[in-house]
Amino acid sequence: MSAKPRGKVWLVGAGPGDPGLLTIKAARVIGACDVLVYDYLASAAIVGLASRACEKIYVGKKAGAHTLTQDEITALIVRLGLEGRNVVRLKGGDVFVFARGGEEAAELRAAGVAFEIIPGITSAIAAPAYAGIPVTHRDHNTSFTIATGHEDPLKGYTSLDFAKLANPKQTLIFLMAMGSLAGLVGKLLEHGMPPGMPVGIVREGTKPTQETLIGTLETIVADVARVQFKAPAIIVIGDVVRERETIRWFDNTPLFGKRVLVTRAADDAVDFASKLWESGAEPVLAPTIAIGAPDDAAPARAAIAALATYAWVVFTSQHGVDAAFAALAANGGDARRFGGAKVAAIGTRTAARLLAHGVRADFVPPKFVAEDVAAGLLEHASRGDRVLLFGAQEMRDVIATTLRSAGRVVDVVAGYKTSHVHDAAIAEAAASCDIWTFTSASTIASFLENVPDAATRAQGKVVACIGPITAIAAREARLRVDIVPDDYTVDGLLEALEAAVATR
Ligand code: SAH
């Protein structure tokens, strides 16, 4: 018997929008699949988990703008499965909550294609949760009902039993109901639901664009019309909505809804971006610099081979640490090659990276500006000591000059090079953001090459620089600087941003 190719289809819930709400199992299968079939509710960050080689097929399904019909989508995943492909069919929220996952699974079974279901966090529960509305609460209800509003009572079709739904002790959660809100509200009032019953509507729940509208059964239709509140939204009807006053938590953070431009190198941006998400902001990654090998790698190799001959080895960034350990590893070495050399790390992240390689820094200057670092090193390294400064090719020479003039013997060695990135997407990203962040003078220089009229374009935006040197570079280019934290770290920058935005 010839073996038929064995494909498999995973029906995967992508969660409600915040990429952090994807399950670990979903992330694993998305990362490993050959084909990803997704619709408009799936966030770009989640689609981005698929490999470069993965074929990505967008099947749309926004109300009124279907790209493929449901039958075509089902036929597509069946065909891909029969072809022996490993397919992830990604759906917003959960797979089985008004998402036709049941039909797709049945068709796969009928065609003999193996499948798995990976449930997702449904927007029916998550969007209210991010608005501070718990779907059950001991003071208010003992059950909740999740219903579709796709059937409009005003247009004369509904199979919803309003006599049962109109129960003040039960929370009602409607999906796809913005178009039929007036009909639903009318029916509930008709069946005796109190007119003062609170209603909360949450659109784009769990995303930085989340909006919430609160009213009562009596007011909500007019409220929605007044502010033009639009789908996709979850409608919650019940006393639980009152809890928002007390437990609202997501959409009242200082940076909530702000789009923040992150200009640092892609590798360095991950940590900053996840902290921004936690503060409710939406990071927009626009790397202006890239980290690569120095023009001449020989001096770095030689210095690393002679590590133990130095009294002090100074790392100016985590990229330097990575470059040094890559050079060590290339000739079979490890941390023991430091021998008796003492190690200094500029910045807590640099120190953390060293520790990850098994080296605890002997000295971490309390301030990260070159002048202060040089003064700190002078206290540690004695006259005549050999000092290796291992950093970027374009390193400022302040530290070396200060040390040399005080009688230390300094080798300055380029472990890596930062180069400027030129990409039209940078200007576009900048225009779409409320806040611009710069974490080094080189990000400023490259940004200005990409956005020559930055000074004008910065109007109405907040410009934040991580420290004084970065700020000087910005001001020299006539770019107004609004924020420089006292603590020249990403955490300091974030704190200063939160404080500034809160008082604006
Ligand atoms: N399977 C999805 C629901 C699909 S039906 C789930 O479990 O979440 C599409 C409807 O879901 C939309 O009309 C809207 O009512 C709701 N919806 C989906 N994502 C949402 C979000 N982030 N915020 C508010 N409502 C959302």
Place of tokens 């611009």: 436
**pLDDT over 70 at 82, yes or no:** yes
**C-beta of residue 38 within 8 angstroms of C-beta of residue 99:** no
Domain definitions of the chain by residue range: 8-121, 125-251, 259-288+421-502, 292-420
**C-beta of residue 24 within 8 angstroms of C-beta of residue 132:** no
Which residue lies with its CA nearest to atom 18 of ligand 1? 123
Phi, psi of 163 (to 5 degrees): -60, -40
Distance 99 CA to ligand 1 centre (A): 9
Distance 439 CA to ligand 1 centre (A): 37
pLDDT at 347: 86
pLDDT at 66: 57
pLDDT at 40: 74
Assigned fold of 292-420: Rossmann fold (3.40.50)
CATH class of 125-251: alpha beta
Q: pLDDT band at 285, cuts 50/70/90?
A: very high
**C-beta of residue 37 within 8 angstroms of C-beta of residue 89:** yes
Distance 207 CA to ligand 1 centre (A): 12
Question: Which has the higher per-residue pLDDT, 154 or 485?
Answer: 485
Q: Which numbered atom of ligand 1 lies nearest the CA of 205?
A: 23
Assigned fold of 259-288+421-502: Rossmann fold (3.40.50)
pLDDT at 494: 95
In 432-489, which ranges are continuous DSSP H helix? 441-450, 454-457, 468-476
**C-beta of residue 359 within 8 angstroms of C-beta of residue 335:** yes
Question: Which two structure tokens, joined as six digits, stand for 95?
Answer: 């797979």
Question: Which two structure tokens, joined as six digits, stand for 384?
Answer: 């005549």
Distance 119 CA to ligand 1 centre (A): 14
pLDDT at 412: 95
**pLDDT over 80 at 65, yes or no:** no
The dihedral built from the CA positions of residue 79, 81, 86 and 90, taken in this order, carries a sign that is positive
Place of tokens 């940078």: 426
Which residue lies with its CA nearest to atom 24 of ligand 1? 233
**pLDDT over 90 at 395, yes or no:** no
Q: pLDDT band at 5, cuts 50/70/90?
A: low
**pLDDT over 70 at 6, yes or no:** yes
Assigned fold of 8-121: Cobalt-precorrin-4 Transmethylase; domain 1 (3.40.1010)
Angstrom distances, CA of residue 443 to CA of 178, 460, 462, 488: 44, 21, 16, 15
Q: Which numbered atom of ligand 1 lies nearest the CA of 123?
A: 8
Which residue lies with its CA nearest to atom 25 of ligand 1? 233
Quote the pTM value: 0.75
Distance 293 CA to ligand 1 centre (A): 46
Catalytic residue (one of 61, 187, 258, 461): 61
Distance 277 CA to ligand 1 centre (A): 21
Strands 409-420 and 289-292, how do they pair?
A: antiparallel
Distance 138 CA to ligand 1 centre (A): 26
Is 39 one of the catalytic residues? yes
Q: Which residues line ligand 1 (CB under 6 A)?
A: 16-17, 41, 91-94, 97-99, 122-124, 127, 175-176, 202-206, 231-234
Catalytic residue (one of 18, 39, 94, 251): 39
Q: Which residues contact 65 (CB under 8 A, 6 or more apart)?
A: none
pLDDT at 3: 59
Q: Which numbered atom of ligand 1 lies nearest the CA of 63?
A: 13
Catalytic residue (one of 18, 91, 94, 176): 176
Same CATH topology for 259-288+421-502 and 292-420?
Answer: yes
**C-beta of residue 91 within 8 angstroms of C-beta of residue 69:** no
Q: Of 78-92, 107-121, 212-226, 364-378, where does mean pLDDT reach its minimum?
A: 364-378
Residue to mutate (ligand 1; options 43, 90, 94, 98; most atoms within 8 A of CB): 98
Determine what percent of the chain is predicted with pLDDT higher than 90.
Answer: 79
Mean pLDDT, residues 99-127: 97
Q: What is the mean pLDDT of the chain?
A: 92
Q: What whole-number distance in Å separates Cα of residue 227 and Cα of residue 225? A: 6
Which residue lies with its CA nearest to atom 20 of ligand 1? 123
pLDDT at 13: 96
**C-beta of residue 193 within 8 angstroms of C-beta of residue 166:** yes
pLDDT at 63: 52
Mean pLDDT, residues 400-411: 95
Q: Which residues contact 215 (CB under 8 A, 6 or more apart)?
A: 198, 199, 223, 224
Is 61 one of the catalytic residues? yes
pLDDT at 492: 94
Find the helix or strand (DSSP H, E) in which 282 lies: strand 282-285
Which of 32, 27, 1, 31 minimizes the C-alpha distance to 14? Answer: 27
Residue to mutate (ligand 1; options 12, 23, 41; most atoms within 8 A of CB): 41
Q: pLDDT band at 371, cuts 50/70/90?
A: confident
Mean pLDDT, residues 359-369: 89
